[in-house]
Amino acid sequence: MDRRIYGIETEFGLTHSAPQGRALSADDAARRLFAPVLAWGRASNVFLPNGGRLYLDVGSHPEYATAEAATLHDVVAQDAAGERIVDDLRAQLQRTLDEEGVGGTVHLFKNNVDSAGNSFGSHENYMISRRTEFARLVQHLLPFLVTRQILVGAGRVHPTGQPPFGALTPGDGSPSYSFSQRADHIWEGSSSATTRSRPMINTRDEPHADAQHYRRLHVITGDSSMSQTTTALKIGTTDLLLRMIEAGQILPDRTLADPATALRVVSHDLTGTAALELANGERRSALELQHEYLDAVTRFVARHGAHHDRVDRVLDLWERGLRAVAEQDASLVDRELDWAIKKKLLDSYAASHDMDYSHPRMVQLDLAYHDTSATHGLFHMLERRGAVESFVSPEDVSRALVEAPGTRASLRGRFVAAAHDAGVNHTVDWVHLKLNGEHQQRTIMCKDPFATTQQDVEDVIRDITRGDV
């Protein structure tokens, strides 16, 4: 498909640190964080005027789901806006605690692991064609997802080395750095589970659209990205691969013998050269597999043309990202890819303070990289200093805080804004807009995720605005 809906769901980590006092528990912090949301929408699960969804998820994680985006530009802007919205709640809670004299500091992290080895996710959604055989798509996608961490992993410090398979606690080896945060927490290739036995692709089939034509691919193996260019590469490469698979392109079978083990091997091998066993007995490294995908996609784009105006930028960063690993020269991407940006920062800190990755300070820095605060977050510190690249402008992000992308989300966003401003009781999900008015009860279905106008939605918004409900 040349046009596709994308979305990213991000679970945030939250902690209240009070060295001189009594810290709030994670549950209490989350509950208090959502107090303004509750006051705004009478629920801790709300859809916003920008079309996105904000809620408290399993394990007291604040979670933000972007609105449906139809372009790479929009999904990156919506994801960045989501971080700002949740961080604004953090800043409000901080002020409240300061006023109450509770003190301490509230930290919100856009990362994927806490210090006890609990993992929380970043989920990518891609609308795919129902015509494409799902098993074939998964077959080609899995080896790609297993190996793409060498490009779009968020990087992680292991003060005592790689954890043994299945262990949530660190290993007992020498200190190390891995490409991915999430790789050590994924257990299988694809299934319908999300928490007990975490797969890479969740097969739950909830298209949120016309099920005859579309299905939703739910990828849950990725790391959350701080860097906009990393987000763009993560979504952009996966979209290109899907486009090629959907077009029926013949690809060699690179099914991995053991995807979950391969995921860990790739994450902990910074050279990208460790041999992974394929189901057919052959062996390939992460670099070799990624080069195969890049070459196939490049040839596909040459034959069929670019389907959006950022394809060149995606292909360029993809190629450079692989070269950075192959030549062991992270400086090729240390303004664009999270694992390299973070590693550069950690390495210069370690050098100037004469410490290595076994030092607790390194783990703290790793965490602080993902801190969403503009003043305390290390990524945002680099951003402010012009040390990292962006993919969308600050104005685009500011607009995405209040404006939905040009998709069905714009209908939802305008409906939510109108109903909220008029104080009219309403219920919304991804497909339905429901009005629970005094005189009118109406449910409208928005089946086409690309549609930005729909007569019955315009009618109901007009009625709400007139006070006619």
Residue type, 42: R
User: How many angstroms separate the Cα of 316 from the Cα of each of 310, 312, 335, 336?
Assistant: 10, 6, 14, 12
Candidates 413, 405, 341, 347; CA nearest to 377 is: 341
Secondary structure letter of residue 201 according to DSSP = E
Neighbours of 144 (CB within 10 A): 20
Q: Does 123 bind another protein (CB under 8 A)?
A: yes
Q: Does 64 bind another protein (CB under 8 A)?
A: no
- Identify whether the C-beta of residue 57 lies closer than 8 Å to the C-beta of residue 113: no
List the one residue from 51, 82, 121, 153 that touches another protein (CB under 8 A). Answer: 121
Helix, strand or coil for residue 436? strand
Q: Using CA atoms, how far apart are residues 75 and 57, in angstroms rounded to an integer?
A: 21
Indicate the helix (H) or strand (E) that contains 218: strand 214-219
Q: Using CA atoms, how far apart are residues 320 and 235, in angstroms rounded to an integer?
A: 17
Backbone angle region of 59, left / alpha / beta, with phi > 0 → left and psi within -120 to 50 → alpha:
left
Q: Does 192 bind another protein (CB under 8 A)?
A: no
Q: Using CA atoms, how far apart are residues 287 and 266, in angstroms rounded to an integer?
A: 10
Q: Does 19 bind another protein (CB under 8 A)?
A: yes
List the one residue from 3, 115, 164, 445 that touches another protein (CB under 8 A). Answer: 115
Is-catalytic flag, 57?
Answer: yes
Nearer Cβ to another protein, position 170 or 236? Answer: 170
Q: Using CA atoms, how far apart are residues 441 and 35, in angstroms rounded to an integer?
A: 28
H helix and E strand count, the chain: 15, 17
List the one residue from 5, 244, 363, 435 that touches another protein (CB under 8 A). Answer: 363
Nearer Cβ to another protein, position 353 or 432? Answer: 353
Q: Using CA atoms, how far apart are residues 458 and 411, in angstroms rounded to an integer?
A: 8
Q: Does 394 bind another protein (CB under 8 A)?
A: yes
Which of the residues 2, 27, 57, 309 is marked catalytic? 57
Q: Using CA atoms, how far apart are residues 209 and 7, in angstroms rounded to an integer?
A: 14
The number of residues that bind another protein (CB under 8 A) is: 70
- Between β-strands 53-57 and 45-47, what pairing exists: parallel, antiparallel or unpaired? antiparallel
Q: Any binding-site annotation on 136?
A: no
List the one residue from 84, 213, 308, 313 that touches another protein (CB under 8 A). Answer: 84
CB of 386 to another protein, least distance (A): 5
Strands (E), 324-468: 426-428, 432-436, 441-445
- Token pair 């290390």 is found at 378
Nearer Cβ to another protein, position 384 or 462? Answer: 384
CB of 415 to another protein, least distance (A): 16
Stretch that binds another protein, among 11-19, 203-211, 250-258, 446-454 (CB under 8 A): 11-19
Tokens of 313: 């930028």
Q: Does 26 bind another protein (CB under 8 A)?
A: yes
Looking only at residues 293 through 332 of this chain, which bind another protein when binding is defined by CB under 8 A?
none
Q: Does 58 bind another protein (CB under 8 A)?
A: yes
The contact mask relative to another protein for 194-223 (x = CB under 8 A, - = no) is xx--x---------------------x---
Q: Does 341 bind another protein (CB under 8 A)?
A: no
Q: Does 389 bind another protein (CB under 8 A)?
A: no
Q: Does 435 bind another protein (CB under 8 A)?
A: no
CB of 60 to another protein, least distance (A): 7
Q: Using CA atoms, how far apart are residues 134 and 142, in angstroms rounded to an integer?
A: 12
Q: Which residues bind another protein (CB under 8 A)?
A: 11, 13-15, 17, 19, 23, 26, 36-37, 39-40, 48-49, 57-61, 63, 84-85, 88-89, 91-92, 95, 105, 107, 109, 114-116, 118-121, 123, 194-195, 198, 220, 345, 348-349, 352-353, 359-361, 363-365, 367-368, 373-376, 378, 381-382, 384-387, 394, 398, 401-402
Active site residues: 57
Give the residue numbers of the binding site: 9, 53, 55, 63, 66, 430
